[in-house]
C-alpha cells in the first residue's frame, strides 16, 4: 500500500498540515509527488483539491484512511526542490501552504467546474428540453460545461437534471493545460529584408511602426512579447505586414516560437573590456566560495555586459538563468539586449501575458526550450531545468517585495533557491539596501564594485526653511530655489522639482525651529491622529497629546507637515507666471511617459514637477536646477526604514537629474540631518554607519527579526478587543522561549480604504526560530480562529 501526504486547498491554518491518503492501486503508476489531486475531507466527505508533497509506504494514522478520488495533473507541476521551497515559505512567512503554492501555479491554475452528461435511455421531451439538447449537445458532444449555458437557459438545465435526463458531475479543470498547449502553435513575427531596408532608408512611417520594426531586428517575437512594446501593437503591425516588411507565421509546437528554423540568426558573443575581464575573473573566484555576489554598480553598461557574460557561461555549461527586474516597463527596455546575445533561448514573463501565453511559457521553461527568462519577481517560481544563475537587478526597489501573503523580498527567496538548487545568485544595485550591506559585512555575501563612483553633486545646497520663515518667506519655495529657477528659464534650461507626494503628511513639526516629535523608545516620528488630536508611535504604543508649544523652542507654531503637487503647481504659476509647467505622477502608462519624454526633449517644458516616476521613466540632458522641495515629510513617516528609503530615493533623483553644471537644492526644516548630509556628500558608507548604529540602538532589522501582526475589521471596538486578546496570547506563549524577544501592546494604526480599522502588534526577536515555533502553537490553540477580526502577518527577517 502506498500513502500520499497531501496538503488541502483551504483557508483554516489549524488544519493546514499534510494528511495521509491511500493511493488506489490503479493510480499507483501515475501518482507522484508534485501533482494536484482530488480528495474527500471531513465528516461530509466534501471534495477538496489537494497537493501531494511526498509518497511513502506506511502511515502513523490509526483511523480509516481515505482514498485519493482523482488526479488533476498528468505530470508533476513542482519538482522536489520547488516542493521544499514551498514548505520553507509556508514555515518562514507563516502562510498557508496553498498561499505559497499559488506563486508556483499561477501559470497552470485549476478550477472546480460542473459538467453535465446525457443519461442513456429514451425520454419524453417537451419543446424547450428538446431545443436545449439539440442546441447545447451538437453532433456527438457528450459533455457540457455549466459556464457554457446562458443564464436564461439554466432553468431548463435544472429541469433536465431533476428528470435525470442529464447527470451533473464536478471536475477540476486546468484553465490552460500545458499539455494542450503543445498541440497549437503560437503566432510569431519576422522582419523581412524589405523591412530592414525600410529601417535603413528611413522611409516615412509612424514612430510606433518604426519601433516595432526595430524590435524585430535581432529576433523573431511572439505577440506576448510585442504587447510590452504596445498594447495595441496589431494596429501598427498590420500595415507593415501588408507592405511585406513583416511576416506573420505560426511556429509549430516543437519549434521555438521566437526563432523558427526558417529564419536562422547569428547570436553575438559577449566581449568584455580589460577592466570588465578583471571584474569577471574576480566574480568567478568569489562564486567558488560564496553562492551570493553583490555588484555595487557605478557603471550600468559594464553591469549588463557582466550579466550577459555570466549567463553565457551558464548556457555553455548546460544550465539556465533567470533575471529579475522590478517592473515590466523596465524589463522591455532591456529585453532587446538579451535577444542580441541569446536569441531564441530568451523568454519574457510578465503580467500582461494571457493565461494561454503564460502556460506556454511555463511549458517551454519546464521542457528546457527556454534557458534565459527575464521578468518580475514571479519569474523565479517557474520550473527551470538545471537552474545555474539568478540575477536580481535594482535590489532596493520596493517592487521586489510581494504585496500578498506570504510577504517576502525576492532576494531572500533567491538565497533559498540557491541553497536548494546549487545556483549562484547575483544582486546588483547602485544604492544598496541596509539589509544587503549588513550581509556583506557579516561575510554572508561577496561584493564587487562595478565602475568608478563619479562625484557629481558637489553643487548641492541645503536650504534651511526655518531661516526662510524667520526672514518673512512663508511660501513653499525658498528664495534661493526661485532665483535658480529664474536663471534656468533665462538660459533656456529646465528646472526639475521632486516631491515624493503620497498625500498629506501624518506628522507635525514646529515651524519655528523644525523640531519633530519622536518616540523616546523607538526613535521614529510620532504619527498624528486627527480624531483625538494626539501623537502615537505605531511600534510600541507610546502616546501623547499634540503639544501646544514646541518643547524645544517654546514656539506655538506647531503645524502639519507637507503639501501636494497641485499646491506646488499653483504656487509656481504665481511666482513664475511665464513658465511652462509639466507634472508627472502616479501610474503613468507607456504612451503618457513617451509623450512627456518627447515634450522634455523638444524643450516644451520649463519646469517639471514629479514624484518617483521621474526617477524610473524620464531622461534629462539640459537641467539647470534640480531640487528636493520638501524632504522632511519622507524622513518623518514614523517608519524605522524612513531614512533608508529617503537616501535611496533622493540619491537616485539627483543622479538622474544632475550633470556637472546643474545646481542642486534640498529644502528642509532639519538642515543638520545626517541622512541629508550623506545625500549631499554622495557617501553611502557615511549613511550606512549612522543608520546601522541607529538600528542597533533601537533594535530594528537587520539586527533583530521584527514581526508585525495586523488585526483589522470594520467594528473598531471588536478590532481593539481582538488585538488585545492576540497580544495576551502571544505574550503568554513567549514565556517558554526565554529572553531575547519583546512584544509591544496593540496600537491603532488607522483605517484602510475599505473602512477596516487596523491595530498592530509588534514582536521583536533575535532568533527567527522563535516566531516560527510560536505561530504553530498560537494556531493550534485556536486563538486566531476564535477572533472576529482578520489577521495578517508581515515579517522582516
Instruction: Write the pLDDT tens digit of every residue in 111-159.
Output: 888 999 999 888 999 999 999 999 999 887 888 999 899 999 999 999 9
Least confident of 183-187, 636-640, 644-648: 183-187
User: What pLDDT is stored for residue 183 in this prediction?
Assistant: 43
Higher pLDDT, residue 224 or 260: 224
pLDDT in tens, 363-413: 999 999 999 999 999 999 999 989 999 999 999 999 999 988 899 999 999
pLDDT of residue 513: 81
User: Quick check: 503 pLDDT over 80?
Assistant: no
Backbone φ and ψ of 115, nearest 5°: -115, 150
What integer is the mean pLDDT of 630-641?
A: 87
Provide the total of helices (H) and of strands (E) in the chain, helices listed first.
26, 34
The gap from C-alpha 141 to its chain's centroid, in whole angstroms, comes to 44
The residue assigned the cell 538579451 is 338
Phi, psi values for residue 256, rounded to 5°: -65, 125
DSSP structure string for 51-88: EEEEEES-----SPPPBEEEES-SS-SS-HHHHHHHHH
Q: Dig out the grid coordinates for 529 from the structure.
A: 491622529
Q: Which three cell numbers stand for residue 227?
A: 504587447
**Mean pLDDT of all residues in 77-92:** 96
Return the higher-pLDDT residue of 591 and 424.
424
Q: Which of 363-372, 487-496, 552-561, 592-601 has the lowest mean pLDDT?
A: 552-561
Give per-residue pLDDT as tens, 283-299.
999 999 999 999 999 99
| pLDDT mean across residues, the chain | 88
**Burial state string for 163-181 with b = 16 or more CB within 10 A and e = fewer than 16:** eebbeeeebbebebbbeeb
Q: Which residue is listed with cell 518604426? A: 210
pLDDT for 13-48, tens place per residue? 899 999 999 999 999 999 999 999 999 998 889 999
| CA distances (Å), origin 382, targets 427, 484, 489 | 19, 52, 52
The 10s digit of each residue's pLDDT in 551-571 is 888 888 887 665 677 788 888
Give the pLDDT band of residue 668 (cuts 50, 70, 90): very high
User: Which is higher by pLDDT, 356 or 81?
Assistant: 81
> In 10 A of CB 699, how many CB atoms?
15
Q: Compare 633 and 752 and report the one with higher pLDDT.
A: 633
| Residue 755: other Cβ atoms inside 10 A | 9
175 pLDDT higher than 90: no
Q: Is the pLDDT of residue 525 over 90?
A: no
User: So what's the pLDDT on residue 331?
Assistant: 57
Q: Distance between CA 335 and CA 406 in Å, rounded?
A: 29
- pLDDT on residue 530: 66
Q: What is residue 227's predicted lDDT score, i.e. its pLDDT? A: 67
**How far apart are the C-alpha atoms of 772 and 92, rounded to whole Å?**
6
Mean pLDDT along residues 705-723: 94
pLDDT confidence of residue 228: 63
- 182: confidence class by pLDDT, cuts 50, 70, 90: very low
The pLDDT of residue 693 is above 90:
yes
Residue given cell 480604504 in the structure block = 753
Q: Tell me, what's the pLDDT at 770? A: 92
pLDDT number for residue 739: 86
pLDDT band at 231 (very low <50, low <70, confident <90, very high): low
Q: What is the pLDDT of residue 253?
A: 47
Residue-level pLDDT at 457:
55
pLDDT of residue 498: 94
Query: At 460, is the secondary structure helix, strand, or coil?
Result: strand
Residue 426 pairs in a beta bridge with 293, 391
Which pLDDT score is estimated for 641? 93
Which three-class secondary structure state does DSSP give residue 234? helix
* Least confident residue range of 269-278, 455-464, 474-483, 695-704: 455-464
pLDDT band at 456 (very low <50, low <70, confident <90, very high): low
Half-sphere exposure of 514 (CA within 13 A, CB side): 20
Higher confidence at residue 734 or residue 637? 734
pLDDT at 71 over 60: yes
Reply yes or no on whether the pLDDT at 261 is more than 50.
no
pLDDT at 264: 42
Note whether 498 and 629 are within 8 A (CB).
Answer: yes
Residue 202 pLDDT: 67
CA angle 725, 729, 735 (to 5 degrees): 150
pLDDT band at 440 (very low <50, low <70, confident <90, very high): very high
Residue 427 has pLDDT above 90, yes or no: yes
Give the mean model confidence (pLDDT) for residues 633-645.
89
> Do the beta carbons of residue 239 and residue 192 sit within 8 Å?
no
Q: Say if residues 31 and 68 touch (Cβ distance below 8 Å).
A: yes
In terms of Cα–Cα distance, which of 157, 118, 124, 158 is closest to 138? 118
Average pLDDT over residues 329-350: 80
Rounded to the nearest 10°, the torsion over CA 675, 681, 687, 689 is -130
Amino acid at each position: 500500500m502506498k500513502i500520499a501526504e497531501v496538503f488541502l486547498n483551504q483557508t483554516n491554518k489549524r488544519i493546514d498540515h499534510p494528511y495521509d491518503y491511500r493511493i488506489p492501486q490503479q493510480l499507483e503508476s501515475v501518482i507522484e509527488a508534485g501533482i494536484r489531486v482530488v480528495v474527500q475531507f471531513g465528516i461530509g466527505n466534501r471534495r477538496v483539491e489537494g497537493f501531494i508533497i511526498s509518497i511513502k509506504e506506511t502511515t502513523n494514522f490509526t483511523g480509516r484512511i481515505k482514498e485519493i478520488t482523482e488526479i488533476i495533473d498528468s505530470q508533476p507541476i513542482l519538482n522536489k526542490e520547488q516542493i521544499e521551497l514551498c514548505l520553507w515559505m509556508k514555515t518562514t512567512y507563516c502562510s498557508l501552504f496553498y498561499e505559497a503554492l499559488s506563486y508556483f501555479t499561477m501559470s497552470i491554475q485549476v478550477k472546480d467546474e460542473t459538467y453535465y452528461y446525457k443519461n442513456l435511455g429514451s425520454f419524453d421531451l417537451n419543446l424547450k428540453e428538446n431545443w436545449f439538447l439539440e442546441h447545447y449537445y451538437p453532433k456527438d458532444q457528450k459533455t457540457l460545461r455549466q459556464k457554457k449555458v446562458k443564464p436564461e437557459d439554466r432553468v431548463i438545465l435544472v429541469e433536465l437534471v431533476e428528470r435525470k435526463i442529464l447527470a451533473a458531475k464536478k471536475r477540476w479543470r486546468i484553465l490552460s493545460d500545458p499539455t494542450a498547449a503543445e498541440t497549437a502553435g503560437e503566432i510569431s513575427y519576422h522582419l523581412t529584408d524589405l523591412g530592414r531596408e525600410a529601417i535603413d532608408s528611413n522611409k516615412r512611417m509612424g514612430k510606433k511602426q518604426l519601433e516595432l520594426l526595430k524590435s524585430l531586428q535581432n529576433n523573431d517575437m511572439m505577440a506576448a512579447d510585442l504587447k510590452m512594446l504596445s498594447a495595441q501593437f496589431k494596429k501598427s503591425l498590420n500595415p507593415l505586414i501588408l507592405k511585406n516588411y513583416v511576416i506573420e507565421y505560426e511556429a509549430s509546437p516543437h519549434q521555438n516560437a521566437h526563432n523558427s528554423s526558417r529564419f536562422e540568426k547569428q547570436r553575438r558573443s559577449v566581449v568584455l573590456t580589460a577592466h570588465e575581464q578583471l571584474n569577471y575573473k574576480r566574480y568567478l573566484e568569489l562564486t567558488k566560495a560564496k553562492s551570493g555576489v553583490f555588484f555595487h554598480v557605478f557603471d550600468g553598461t559594464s553591469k549588463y555586459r557582466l550579466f550577459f557574460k555570466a549567463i553565457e557561461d551558464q548556457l555553455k555549461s548546460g544550465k539556465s538563468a533567470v533575471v529579475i527586474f522590478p517592473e515590466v516597463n523596465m524589463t522591455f527596455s532591456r529585453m532587446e539586449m538579451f535577444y542580441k546575445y541569446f536569441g531564441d533561448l530568451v523568454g519574457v514573463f510578465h503580467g500582461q501575458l494571457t493565461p494561454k501565453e503564460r502556460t506556454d511559457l511555463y511549458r517551454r521553461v519546464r521542457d528546457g526550450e527556454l534557458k534565459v527568462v527575464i521578468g518580475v519577481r514571479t519569474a523565479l517560481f517557474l520550473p527551470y531545468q538545471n537552474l545555474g544563475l539568478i540575477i536580481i537587478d535594482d535590489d532596493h526597489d520596493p517592487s521586489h517585495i510581494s504585496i500578498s501573503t506570504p510577504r517576502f523580498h525576492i532576494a531572500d527567496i533567491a538565497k533559498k533557491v540557491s541553497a536548494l538548487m546549487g545556483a549562484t545568485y547575483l544582486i546588483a544595485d547602485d544604492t544598496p539596501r541596509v539589509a544587503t550591506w549588513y550581509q556583506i559585512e557579516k561575510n554572508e555575501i561577496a561584493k564587487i564594485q562595478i565602475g568608478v563612483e563619479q562625484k557629481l553633486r558637489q553643487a548641492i545646497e541645503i536650504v534651511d526653511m526655518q531661516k526662510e520663515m524667520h526672514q518673512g518667506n512663508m511660501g513653499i519655495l525658498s528664495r534661493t530655489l526661485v532665483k535658480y529657477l529664474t536663471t534656468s528659464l533665462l538660459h533656456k534650461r529646465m528646472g526639475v522639482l521632486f516631491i515624493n507626494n503620497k498625500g498629506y503628511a501624518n506628522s507635525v513639526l514646529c515651524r519655528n525651529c523644525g523640531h519633530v516629535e519622536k518616540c523616546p523608545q523607538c526613535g521614529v516620528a510620532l504619527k498624528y491622529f486627527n480624531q483625538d488630536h494626539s501623537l502615537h508611535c505605531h511600534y510600541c504604543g507610546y502616546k501623547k497629546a499634540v503639544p501646544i508649544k514646541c518643547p524645544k523652542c517654546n514656539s506655538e507654531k506647531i503645524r502639519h507637515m507637507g503639501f501636494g503637487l497641485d499646491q506646488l503647481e499653483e504656487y509656481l504659476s504665481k511666482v513664475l507666471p511665464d513658465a511652462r509647467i509639466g507634472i508627472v505622477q502616479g501610474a503613468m502608462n507607456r504612451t503618457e511617459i513617451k509623450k512627456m519624454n518627447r515634450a522634455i526633449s523638444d524643450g516644451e517644458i520649463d519646469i517639471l514637477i514629479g514624484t518617483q516616476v521621474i526617477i524610473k521613466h524620464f531622461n534629462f540632458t539640459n537641467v539647470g536646477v534640480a531640487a528636493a522641495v520638501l524632504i522632511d515629510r519622507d524622513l518623518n513617516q514614523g517608519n524605522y526604514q524612513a531614512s533608508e528609503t529617503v537616501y535611496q530615493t533622493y540619491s537616485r533623483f539627483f543622479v538622474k537629474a544632475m550633470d556637472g553644471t546643474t545646481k542642486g537644492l534640498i529644502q528642509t526644516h532639519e538642515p543638520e540631518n545626517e541622512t541629508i548630509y550623506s545625500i549631499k556628500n554622495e557617501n553611502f558608507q557615511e549613511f550606512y554607519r549612522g543608520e546601522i548604529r541607529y538600528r542597533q540602538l533601537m533594535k530594528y532589522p537587520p539586527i533583530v527579526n521584527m514581526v508585525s501582526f495586523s488585526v483589522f475589521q470594520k467594528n473598531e471596538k471588536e478590532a481593539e478587543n481582538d488585538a488585545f486578546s492576540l497580544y495576551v496570547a502571544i505574550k503568554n506563549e513567549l514565556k517558554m522561549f526565554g529572553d531575547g524577544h519583546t512584544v509591544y501592546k496593540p496600537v491603532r494604526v488607522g483605517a484602510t480604504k475599505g473602512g477596516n480599522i487596523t491595530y498592530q502588534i509588534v514582536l521583536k526577536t533575535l532568533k527567527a526560530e522563535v516566531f516560527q515555533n510560536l505561530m504553530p502553537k498560537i494556531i493550534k490553540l485556536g486563538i486566531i480562529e476564535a477572533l472576529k477580526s482578520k489577521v495578517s502577518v508581515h515579517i522582516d527577517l
